[in-house]
Amino acid sequence: MAKKKQKTIITCAVTGAIHTPTMSEGLPFTYEDITKQAVDAAEAGASILHLHARDNETGAPSVAIEDFAPFLPRIKQATDAVVNISTGGSLTLSIQDRINPAKIFSPEMCSMNMGSMNFSFHPLAGRYKDEDWKFDWEKDYVKNSDGNIFRNTFRDIKEAAETLAPHDVKFEHECYDVGHLYNLKFCMDIGLFKAPVFIQFIFGILGGIGSEIENLVFMKNTADRLFGDDYRWSVLGAGGAQMTLGTTASQMGGNVRVGLEDSLFISRGKLAESNAQQVAKIRRIVEDLGCEVASPDEAREILDLKG
């Protein structure tokens, strides 16, 4: 008998740390807007909310506990969605600062970045409107090179894993390239992470693997070879790759991440008004193509969360 297809989990990454409020009015950054957009995204069909904090006045990325505290309990009260707190923080922070919010709030899930890289946006990846496809290589990429190093050494990964182990938090293993899958496998082999793991395949960040569908197939085949049945997976396509790769992933039996952290757009050249708009779009596509979307409790069961 054919195996019943598992439901599709939609994660929504609500604000992140990369985009700035000047880039889009849709990007939430105040406590109020993060709360509202997260709750609306959950109502639209996201069963996991991946959350970063920002300064309430300026929108600057923040890992301060006092910037998480005004919205986390409100989101938990208003939705049943799984809360997933970032440990990526932003590029210049130490691993200790990055993992502190997850340590303090002990969420059901948090991110775990699986390798170091030159983390940048590709100017053609859909971050900009068509007419704005100009960039300054010297200023934005060369002079800012040190600011683009996303450091996730084995020491950092060990520190994050060991500090958070007592919290029984499920990690979303962020793999931006095929080598990160091998890092994860190595960490599992030495006992740092236990199966089954949840992997986010990330495409289209400059410094990581590109957003061609062949790369998704390659990442999936590599993960099948390394992890067998010991993993669940989801896809995050940055910028213009968000909907196409998410759709393809859901058709391949994977899960999908959307949200304004990963793309400010709802379609080519058109900014999204909100996170819920992106969630509603991917939900519609997933359902139109014959898959069912998982509820928060179904996501808890599929990913074996502490609940």
Pick from ligand KMH, Zn ion, none: which does 67 bind, CB < 5 to 8 A by kind?
none
In the shown chain, the binding pattern of residues 50 to 89 toward Zn ion, with x for contact by CB under 5 A and - for none, equals ------------------------------------x-x-
Of 85-93, 158-166, 272-280, 281-289: span binding ligand KMH (CB under 6 A): 85-93
Give the residue nearest to ligand KMH (CB).
Answer: 88
264 binds, among Zn ion, ligand KMH, none (CB under 5 to 8 A by kind): none
DSSP string, 49-118: EEE-EE-TTT--EE--HHHHTTTHHHHHHH--PEEEE-S---TTS-HHHHHHHHHHH--SEEEEE---EE
Given a contact cutoff of 8 angstroms between Cβ atoms, the answer to whether 38 and 12 are in contact is yes
| Cα radius of gyration (the chain) | 18
Positions in 25-84 near ligand KMH (CB under 6 A): none
> Per DSSP, which regions of the chain are E strands?
10-13, 48-51, 53-54, 61-62, 82-85, 109-113, 117-118, 120-121, 149-150, 170-175, 197-203, 205-206, 231-237, 255-258, 265-267, 270-271
Two structure tokens written together for 76: 């938990």
- Site track for ligand KMH across 160-179, x = CB under 6 A: --------------x-----
Sign of the Cα torsion 126, 132, 135, 141 reads negative
Closer residue to ligand KMH, CB minimum distance, 31 or 201: 201
Contact string (CB under 6 A) for ligand KMH, positions 113-152, x = contact: x---------------------------------------
28 binds, among ligand KMH, Zn ion, none (CB under 5 to 8 A by kind): none
C-alpha–C-alpha distance, residues 58 and 264, integer Å: 18
From the list 255, 278, 245, 2, the residue with the least C-alpha distance to 125 is 245
Contact of residue 242 among Zn ion, ligand KMH, none (CB under 5-8 Å per partner type): none
* Smallest distance, Zn ion to C-beta of residue 238, A: 11
Query: Does 16 help bind ligand KMH (rule: CB under 6 A)?
Result: yes
90 binds, among Zn ion, ligand KMH, none (CB under 5 to 8 A by kind): none
N residues, the chain: 307
Interface residue list for ligand KMH (CB under 6 A):
13, 16, 86-88, 111, 113, 174, 202, 205, 261
Interface residue list for Zn ion (CB under 5 A):
16, 86, 88
